[in-house]
Structure 1
Amino acid sequence: MASEAYPQIRDKVYEQLRQAMLKGSLKPGERLVERKLAEQLGVSRTPVREAIRMLQLEGLVVHLPRVGSVVAQVTDDEVVDIYRIRAVLEGLAARMAAEKINPTQRQQLTNLVETIEELAKERDFDRLEKVHQEYNDLIYQVAGSMRLYGMITTLVDHITRYARVGYCHPGRMEEATREHRQLVEAITMRDGALAERVAREHIDNSRRAYFSEIAIRSKV
Structure 2
Amino acid sequence: MTNINLFPLFLSLKVAFISTALSFLIGLPLAYYLSLNRSRFSDFLDTFTNFPVVLPPTVLGYYLLVLLGRQSFIGKFLEKNFNIMIVFTPAGAIVAAVIVSLPYMIKSSKTALLSINEDYINAARLLGRGELNIFLTIMIPISYRGIISGVTMSFVRALGDFGTTLMVAGSIPDKTLTMPIAIYNALQSGDKAMANLLVLIMTSISVIVLYIVNRLEKKMKRG
Q: TM-score, normalised by structure 1?
A: 0.29
Structure with greater contact order relative to length (CA < 8 Å, sep ≥ 6): 2
